[in-house]
């Protein structure tokens, strides 16, 4: 296996982990504590940030999937983790984010959408994605080290 593929198998999941931690768990809560940031403004910024996070995540996931087919090909356990990442990303992108966007539209318009579990669901999916990525990164690193 070329050094490029080895490097990408390690770097891409690590970068994605950093992006998720930086944006989902550091930037998001801090933005609402900044002076002068209204709830509407924070929600608008958040929507842009999470769209960018989603696009970056999908791009990295596609590349990880393609690289996993290079020699030596990924093992069954690795493919299960990649599959889990696809499922988590699909849930976030096609179920949770649209529902959260609809809620933020109501808040920006001055309404009160009421209580919701959606934010907790999103946090759980982000944590599951982090676990899957970290587990995948450890597996890839161990496999490369043993080869």
Res. 145 pLDDT band, cuts 50 70 90: confident
Decide if 21 contacts 130 (C-beta within 8 A): yes
Examine the pLDDT at 77 and tell me if it is beyond 90: yes
Please tell me the total count of domains within the chain: 1
pLDDT digits (tens, 9 = 90+) for 109-141: 999 999 999 999 999 999 999 999 999 999 999
For residue 125, give the H/E element and its range: helix 118-146
- Quote the pLDDT of residue 73: 83
CA dihedral for 139, 140, 141, 145, sign (positive or negative): positive
58: which residues sit within 8 A by CB, 6+ positions away?
89, 93
Res. 72 pLDDT band, cuts 50 70 90: confident
Half-sphere exposure of 144 (CA within 13 A, CB side): 19
Range of the domain at 61: 3-146
36: which residues sit within 8 A by CB, 6+ positions away?
none
Q: Which residue has the higher pLDDT, 51 or 147?
A: 51
- Quote the pLDDT of residue 6: 82
pLDDT digits (tens, 9 = 90+) for 41-51: 999 999 999 99
């Amino acid at each position: 296996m070329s050094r490029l593929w080895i490097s990408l198998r390690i770097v891409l999941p690590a970068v994605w982990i950093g992006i998720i931690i930086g944006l989902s768990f550091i930037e998001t809560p801090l933005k609402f504590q900044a002076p002068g940031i209204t709830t509407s403004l924070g929600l608008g910024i958040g929507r842009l940030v999470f769209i960018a996070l989603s696009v970056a995540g999908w791009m990295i996931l596609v590349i990880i999937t393609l690289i996993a087919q290079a020699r030596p090909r990924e093992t069954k356990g690795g493919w299960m983790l990649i599959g889990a990442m696809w499922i988590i990303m699909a849930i976030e992108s096609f179920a949770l984010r649209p529902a959260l966007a609809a809620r933020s539209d109501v808040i920006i318009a001055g309404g009160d959408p009421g209580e919701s579990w959606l934010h907790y669901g999103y946090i759980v999916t982000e944590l599951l994605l982090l676990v899957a990525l970290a587990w995948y990164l450890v597996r890839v690193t161990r496999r490369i080290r043993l080869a």
